[in-house]
Chains A and B, each alone.
Chain A
Amino acid sequence: MMAGLGTFLRKELLEQWRTLRLPVVAMIFLLVGLSSPLLARFTPDILEAVAGDQFQVVLPTPTAADAVDQLAKNLGQFGGLIAVLLAMGSVATEKERGTAALFLTKPLSRAAFLTAKLLAIGLTLGVSVAIATAGAWFYTLVLFEPLALPGVAAGGVLQWLTLMAWASITFVGSTLTRSSLAAAGLGIVAFIVVGILGVLPNVGTFLPTGLGGPGRALALGVPGPDPIVPTVATIVLIGATGLVAWLAFRRQEL
Chain B
Amino acid sequence: MTAAVSAPSATPAEAVVHEEVAIRARGLAKRFGPIVALDGLDLDVPAGSIFGLLGPNGAGKTTTIRILTGLARPSAGTATVAGVEVGLDRPELRRRLGYLDQDPRFYPWMRGRELLELVGRLVGLEGADLRERVSSMLERTGLADVAGRRIGGYSGGMRQRLGIAQALLDRPAVVFLDEPVSSLDPEGRRDVLELIEGLRGETTVVVSTHVLSDVERVCDRVAILDRGQLVAEAPLDRLLAEHLRPLYRLVPEPGQREAVAGFVERVRGSPWVTDIVTASDGDVRVTVRDPAVAGAALLAMVVDQDLRLAAFERVRPTLEDVFLELVGTPSADELDGRGYVRPREAHR
Contact A7 B118 (CB under 8 A): yes
Bound-complex Cα distance A251 to B88 (A): 7
Which of the 9-residue segments A48-56, A74-82, A96-104, A161-169 touches chain B?
A: A96-104
Provided the pairs A102-B104, A107-B95 are in contact, do residues A253 and B73 lie with their beta carbons within 8 angstroms? yes
Question: Which residues from B are CB-within-8-Å of A19?
Answer: 109
Binds A, one of B51-59, B120-128, B337-345: B120-128
Is A154 interfacial (CB-CB < 8 Å)?
no
Q: Does B69 contact A (CB under 8 A)?
A: yes
Q: Which of B69, B109, B114, B121 contacts A105 (CB 8 A)?
A: B69
**A179 contacts partner chain B, Cβ-Cβ < 8 Å:** no
Q: Are A105 and B89 in contact (CB under 8 A)?
A: no
Whether the Cβ atoms of A106 and B122 lie closer than 8 Å is yes
Q: Give 10 pairs: A residue, B residue, CB < 8 Å, sorted on A.
A: A3-B91, A7-B118, A14-B110, A15-B107, A18-B110, A19-B109, A98-B101, A104-B71, A107-B123, A252-B88
Contact, CB under 8 Å: A106 / B69: no
A141 in contact (CB, < 8 A)? no
B227-261 interface code vs A (CB 8 A; 1 in, 0 out): 00000000000000000000000000000000000
Q: Given known contacts A7-B122, A8-B122, A253-B73, is B89 in contact with A109 (CB within 8 Å)? A: yes
B84 to chain A, nearest CB (A): 12
Task: Give the dominant DSSP class at B's interface.
Answer: loop
Chain A positions within 8 Å of B149 at CB level:
none
The chain B residue sitting closest to A113, CB to CB, is B89
Choose one: B92, B101, B109; the contact of A102 (CB below 8 Å). Answer: B101
- Asked, given contacts A98-B105, A104-B71, whether A253 binds B94 with beta carbons under 8 Å apart, the answer is no
Q: Roughly how many angstroms separate A104 CA and B95 CA in the complex, as a whole number?
A: 11
Apart from the given pairs A101-B101, A106-B122, A109-B89, 13 other A-B contacts in the complex at a CB distance below 8 Å: A7-B118, A7-B121, A14-B114, A15-B107, A18-B109, A99-B107, A102-B99, A104-B70, A104-B71, A108-B94, A110-B88, A250-B88, A251-B73
A103 to B106, CA, bound (A): 10
Contacts of A103 in B (CB 8 A): 122
> Does B119 sit at the interface, judged by CB under 8 A?
yes
A233, B118: Cα distance in complex, Å: 37
Q: Are A106's CB and B94's CB within 8 A?
A: yes
Is there a chain B Cβ closer than 8 Å to A73's Cβ?
A: no
Residues of chain B in range 78-106 having any CB-CB distance to chain A below 8 Å? 88-89, 91-92, 94-95, 97-99, 101, 103-106
User: Residue A142 at the B interface, CB < 8 A?
Assistant: no
Taken together as a complex, chains A and B put the C-alpha atoms of A109 and B101 apart, in Å, by 19
Inter-chain CA distance A103–B94, complex, in Å, is 10
CB proximity to B under 8 Å, residues A1-42 = 3-4, 7-8, 11, 14-15, 18-19
- Verify if B72 is at the interface (C-beta below 8 Å from A): yes
A148 at the binding interface (Cβ < 8 Å) = no
Q: How many residues of B contact A (CB 8 A)?
A: 31
| Chain A residue contacts of B66, Cβ below 8 A | 253
Contact B89 A107 (CB under 8 A): no
Check A105–B105 contact: CB distance below 8 A: no
Chain A's closest residue to B169 (CB) is A106
In the docked arrangement, what's the CA distance between A15 and B106, Å?
Answer: 12
Q: In residues 43-74 of chain B, which contact A (Cβ within 8 Å)?
A: 66, 69-73
Is the beta-carbon distance between B106 and A102 smaller than 8 angstroms?
yes
B105:A99 contact, CB within 8 angstroms:
yes
Cβ–Cβ contact B105 & A4, under 8 A:
no
CA A104 – CA B70 in complex, angstroms? 9
List residues of chain B with CB within 8 A of the CB of A107.
Answer: 91-92, 94-95, 122-124
Q: Are B91 and A109 in contact (CB under 8 A)?
A: yes
| A18: chain B residues within 8 A (beta carbon) | 109-110
A236 located at the interface, meaning its Cβ lies under 8 Å from any Cβ of chain B in the complex: no
Chain B residues whose C-beta falls within 8 Å of the C-beta of A253 in the assembled complex: 66, 71-73, 88
Q: Please judge, given known A-B contacts A250-B88, A253-B72, A253-B73, whether A106 and B123 are in contact too, CB under 8 Å.
A: yes
List the B side residues contacting A109 at CB < 8 Å.
Answer: 89, 91
A189 at the interface (CB under 8 A from B): no
Cβ-based interface call for A57 (8 A):
no
Kindly state whether residue A254 has any CB partner on chain B within 8 Å: yes
Instruction: Name the A residues within 8 Å of B89 (CB-CB).
Output: 109-110, 250
Contact B70 A105 (CB under 8 A): yes
Give B69 Cβ to nearest chain A Cβ, in Å. Answer: 5
1/0 per residue, CB under 8 A from A, across B117-151: the answer is 01101111000000000000000000000000000
| CB–CB A4/B88 < 8 A | no
Chain B residues near A99 (CB-CB < 8 A): 105-107
Contacting pair B105 A97 (CB below 8 A): yes
Q: How far is the CA of A4 from the CA of B234 in the complex (A)?
A: 39
Q: Which residues of A contact B71 (CB under 8 A)?
A: 101, 104-105, 253-254
> Which of B105, B114, B166 counts the most chain A CB atoms within 10 A?
B105
* Minimum CB–CB distance for A173 against chain B, Å: 21
Instruction: Name which residue of chain A comes closest to B109, CB basis.
Output: A18
Q: CA separation between A243 and B125, bound complex, in Å?
A: 30
B253 to chain A, nearest CB (A): 44
Nearest CB of chain A from residue B83's CB, rounded to whole Å = 16
Q: A110 — which chain B residues lie within 8 A by C-beta? A: 88-89
Q: How far is the CA of A249 from the CA of B131 in the complex (A)?
A: 33
A18 to B108, CA, bound (A): 10
Contact A108 B88 (CB under 8 A): no
Q: Is B107 a contact of A98 with CB atoms below 8 Å?
A: no
- A98 contacts B91, CB within 8 Å? no
